[in-house]
Amino acid sequence: MELHNETTSSMLATHEHAEHAERIALDAIVASRPVLRALLRARDAIRWPERTLLHAGPPLGESAPPPPILHSAAHAALFEGWAASFDEAIAAIMAREILLAPAQEHDCVVPLAAVLSPGQYVQVVSDAAGRGRTIHAALSGGGGAAIRLGMDDPQVTAHLRWINGPLADAVGARLGAPVDLAAIADAALALGDDCHGRTIEGTRIWVERLAAERPFDDPAVKRFLDTSPGFFLNTWMAASACMLSTAEHVNGSAIVTSMGANGRHAGIRLAHAPQRWFTVEATTPVGRFDAGFAATDGLPAIGDSAVVDALGLGAMCMHRSEAQQQNLGAFMQSPPQALNATLLGALHPAFTRGATRVGLSARSVVASGLRPAVALGILDTNGRRGRIGGGIWTAPLALFEDALTALFI
């Protein structure tokens, strides 16, 4: 009986410590206030590793980059002047004369198969409350030949130069005081965005704010912004990662602080040990494909935009976006209301109109058996046709079970 009582007391103490740790981490997230402070060349914003390009998700390790990342990396190398031709860039990357590293390990986030290089401009997002890390994200490439689509089209390099030339000049000239990004997201949520798969309202509000500083006078820039409904996504990805970073290094906390995929593997990092990735083999999102394409044509999950869903927006609050429910609701394995209420820990006070919970706990995932959902674009696995659909990637329970076992048992 005495041994039983000692064991029970130990279990209760462990449970109480875990709950306390989760509360500390959640309190940090709900206190965060992400603001956009500047637009800088990436090499001026972070300490850039030599001849290195940054990709989404966990490290590729010994795995060859999937074709979309390889193509985007080649375009980035051409943009930097590290190669004279596309084929030369491909060869240098495969020979590891040009290195690839995870963006999230360098305080950056990139969407889909985008690759970030030192000469590209990045949005600098920091926590006005003072706890979170400063996170960086490139300007959105919009539609067409955007680097995030992983195509081998030569127009990608030309478009990358335009994004980091006329567009960056126009946006940078209109950045004044720090921009409250949570306020934009809150207004967008109230108007039907989920701030991941649908960012139409967030983009409109953000562009209107920029134009209020000074109307856009370049017709090409104005046309680009008018036809790029996802322009706010990269900005909000950086804000989401910044908010999650406030929970890092809370001893005993299983709050997810990083989430992403690289087309080979998907991974998470937890507050208790924020430098350690836990990974599983990535699978292709389930969803809608463009005419002529099927699931077998789709690249497995890719992109750092999963940080939005790990925060608690995107697919995790799809019930607040009628358009997203109509588009992708059929591919959710669990109702988004259940995911939101069960897996996320707290309401963030900045979301007053689009009230939604934040803070994904690996413990809640394992205890409930509910699998977190992420809204993702689906790319052509061969890197030829770019985006061929959109769907839902459902994270496997094993990913969270492995993380908990390795860190806490």
Q: Which residue has the tokens 């401009």?
A: 121
- Taking only the tens place, the pLDDT of each residue in 134-158 is 999 999 999 889 999 999 999 999 9
The structure tokens listed for 186 are 């809150």
For residue 274, give the H/E element and its range: strand 273-281
- Taking only the tens place, the pLDDT of each residue in 257-301 is 999 999 999 999 999 999 999 999 999 999 999 999 999 999 999
d(CA 292, CA 283): 20
Q: Hey, is 104 helix, strand or coil? A: helix
The residues, ordered by sequence, that sit 6+ positions from 168 with a Cβ below 8 Å of its Cβ are 39, 121, 139
Q: Hey, is 332 helix, strand or coil? A: coil
pLDDT band at 13 (very low <50, low <70, confident <90, very high): very low
Does pLDDT of 106 surpass 90?
Answer: yes
The DSSP code sequence of 334-359 is S-HHHHHHHHEEEE-TT-SSS--EEE
- Taking only the tens place, the pLDDT of each residue in 151-181 is 999 999 999 999 999 999 999 999 989 999 9
- Taking only the tens place, the pLDDT of each residue in 220-235 is 999 999 999 999 999 9
Q: Are 342 and 359 in contact (CB under 8 A)?
A: no
DSSP state of 166: I
Does pLDDT of 11 surpass 60?
Answer: no
Give me the helices (H) in 51-140, please.
Answer: 67-80, 86-94
Structural domains present in the chain = 248-408 (3.90.1700.10)
Q: How high is the pLDDT of residue 1?
A: 45
d(CA 253, CA 251): 6
Q: How high is the pLDDT of residue 180?
A: 97
Q: How high is the pLDDT of residue 12?
A: 33
d(CA 409, CA 400): 13
Q: How high is the pLDDT of residue 353?
A: 79
- In the chain, the percentage of residues whose pLDDT exceeds 70 is 96
Burial of 326 (0-12, 13-18, 19+ CB in 10 A): exposed
The structure tokens listed for 240 are 């989401």
Phi-psi group of 107: left, alpha or beta (phi > 0 → left; psi -120 to 50 → alpha; rest → beta) = left
d(CA 116, CA 109): 9
d(CA 409, CA 120): 43
Q: CB-hemisphere CA count at 13 Å for 193?
A: 26
- Taking only the tens place, the pLDDT of each residue in 373-400 is 999 999 999 999 999 999 999 999 999 9
- In the chain, the percentage of residues whose pLDDT exceeds 90 is 92
d(CA 134, CA 117): 18
